[in-house]
């Protein structure tokens, strides 16, 4: 990710990378970068990271909901343990950074 002080929000800056053979490759900077599972954007607001973590947690909750059937499902204590083991780490991952 390339950070600059330019205020042109609609245009990503072009980045020129020198190649070993002496030529140059031009790439356009993306909107976000993913480092160790953390999605970082240009304004450092982490909206994409939060939305992806929320979606991942929602999918896990659906799986826990299937296990929590009132007829044959796991007990409430086991469900709380699974919540703490599965959902909380997803939502807290990289929280000190953002």
| Whole-number percent of the chain with pLDDT over 70 | 86
What pLDDT, on a 0 to 100 scale, did the predictor assign at position 9?
59
pLDDT above 70 for 48:
yes
Higher model confidence: residue 4 or residue 75?
Answer: 75
Cα–Cα distance between 89 and 95 in angstroms, integer? 10
Contact 25, 31 (CB under 8 A): no
Q: What is the mean pLDDT of residues 33-51?
A: 85
Quick: pLDDT tens for 24-39: 998 887 788 888 888 8
H or E element in which residue 17 lies:
strand 14-18
Domain boundaries, the chain: 32-92
Residue 59 has pLDDT above 90, yes or no: yes
């Amino acid at each position: 990710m390339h950070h600059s002080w330019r205020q042109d929000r609609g245009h990503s800056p072009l980045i020129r990378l020198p190649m070993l053979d002496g030529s140059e490759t031009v790439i356009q900077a993306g909107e976000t970068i993913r480092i160790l599972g953390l999605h970082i954007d240009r304004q450092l607001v982490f909206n994409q990271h939060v939305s992806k973590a929320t979606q991942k947690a929602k999918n896990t909750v659906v799986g826990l909901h299937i296990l929590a059937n009132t007829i044959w499902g796991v007990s409430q204590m086991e469900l709380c343990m699974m919540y703490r083991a599965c959902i909380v780490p997803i939502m807290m991952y990289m929280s000190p950074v953002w």
